[in-house]
Amino acid sequence: MTDVAGGEGREAVRDLQLVIITGLSGAGKTVAVQSLEDLGYFCVDNLPPALIPKFAELMQQSEGKVSRLALVCDVRGGSWFSALAQALKDLKEQFGVQYQILFLEAKDEILVRRYKETRRRHPLAQGNRILEGIARERKQLEEIRERADWIIDTSALKPAQLKAKIAERFSGSDLNRMTLNLISFGFKYGVPIDADLVFDVRFLPNPHYLDSLRPLTGMDLDVYEYVFKWPATKAFAEKLVDLLDFLLPQYVKEGRSQLVVAIGCTGGQHRSVAIVEMLRQHYQHRERVHVHHRDVHKDRAKDVDA
């Protein structure tokens, strides 16, 4: 196969983090791929195995733009699924890609119950015999199961628990499993409808009443220093950070992929903006933090990715 991207492209492919998701139908592959997508993986569902080396060539041409990739390959591919072992061999020999195989399974009675609840047809079932389809599928998956790096029995797992297990295995760190959105806003324009946590800072001294600070925002140093010179602000900021530092890991354990924290003052210009900027500085080590000052004057509006 031609090395169309040169040495740099080949090195990028070798550095690719690749997860092959497979297993029994109804065992939770949809939850697994959604979990990896939330972790920043580029995900492709039901990819015919024969196309895996071609897909790696495409990644080579991207020159490292995609660094984490998850592919779902299962019996839905029909006769093509039998080519998975050879495709993975070609992938390793031609591109030097190291991959992990995640295999999901569950007990027969659990799979039957899940299919009856969703009223979906098993891909290998003949007529309405779900158990027959499950038995055929187990037989077809024996070889790939033996090669799996990680096998999860989802019989007793809720979707959030499965998501947490996958995040624990494939996330670089706890802090980076969740996207944290920090929003400043003005109550007179309404509370953001997508906010998970809302904090009201209208009790803090208001820079609006100082002529020199009124035209500025909490992103300006003079306003920021004014807001944070008061003991009440310092005490509130300390307690707020302690609360969020406690809450974020708890939300991660529950399988949350994002959290929206909204800080509000009267007009969304000064106090709320300054508090959000403080939080941005505290959490700037995270990979997935987004800051939006919703109600700052249009000519000053900014979206900041920390």
At residue 240, what is the residue type?
L
Give the pairing type, strands 289-293 and 303-305. antiparallel
Of 178 and 202, the structure prediction assigns the larger pLDDT to 202
d(Cα 261, Cα 195) in Å, to the nearest integer? 6
Cα Rg of the chain, angstroms: 25
d(Cα 266, Cα 298) in Å, to the nearest integer? 17
- The pLDDT confidence band at residue 175, using thresholds 50, 70 and 90, is very low
Tell me, what DSSP letter sits at residue 64? T
Location of structure tokens 């195995």: 49
Q: What is the mean pLDDT of residues 73-90?
A: 76
- The verdict on 18 and 136 lying in the same domain is yes
Run of H or E including 152? strand 150-153
d(Cα 247, Cα 255) in Å, to the nearest integer? 13
pLDDT of residue 286: 66
d(Cα 15, Cα 68) in Å, to the nearest integer? 9
Q: How far is CA 175 from the centre of its chain?
A: 12
pLDDT of residue 2: 38
- The pLDDT confidence band at residue 3, using thresholds 50, 70 and 90, is very low
Residue pair 300/217 in contact by the 8 Å Cβ criterion: yes
Residue 149 covered by a domain: yes
- The verdict on 14 and 163 lying in the same domain is yes
- The verdict on 10 and 140 lying in the same domain is yes
Nearest residue to 29 via CA among 148, 156, 154, 149? 154
Burial of residue 49 (CB within 10 Å: 0-12, 13-18, 19+) is buried
The CATH number assigned to the domain holding 13 equals 3.40.50.300
Q: Which residues, including other chains, have CB under 8 Å from residue 135's CB and lie 6 or more apart?
A: none
Helix, strand, coil abundance in the chain, percent, nearest 5: 50, 20, 35
Tens-place pLDDT, residues 90-111: 777 777 777 889 999 999 889 8
Residue-range definition of the domain harbouring residue 102: 6-171
Inter-CA distances, 256 with 245, 247, 283, Å: 15, 11, 18
Report the range out of 9-13, 50-54, 290-294 with the highest average pLDDT. 290-294
- The verdict on 28 and 167 lying in the same domain is yes
- The verdict on 195 and 275 lying in the same domain is yes
d(Cα 81, Cα 104) in Å, to the nearest integer? 16
- The verdict on 153 and 180 lying in the same domain is no
- The verdict on 51 and 156 lying in the same domain is yes
- The verdict on 109 and 126 lying in the same domain is yes
Burial of residue 258 (CB within 10 Å: 0-12, 13-18, 19+) is middle
Q: Domain tally for the chain?
A: 2
Tens-place pLDDT, residues 202-260: 999 999 999 999 999 999 999 999 999 999 999 999 999 999 999 988 887 666 778 99
Phi first, then psi, for residue 153 (nearest 5°) are: -90, 115
d(Cα 35, Cα 117) in Å, to the nearest integer? 22
d(Cα 95, Cα 78) in Å, to the nearest integer? 26
Helices within 127-230 (DSSP H only)? 130-140, 142-147, 159-170, 221-227
Judged by average pLDDT, the poorest of 65-79, 98-112, 136-150, 278-292 is: 65-79
Domain boundary among 171, 200, 227: 171
Domain boundary among 142, 171, 200: 171
- The pLDDT confidence band at residue 264, using thresholds 50, 70 and 90, is very high
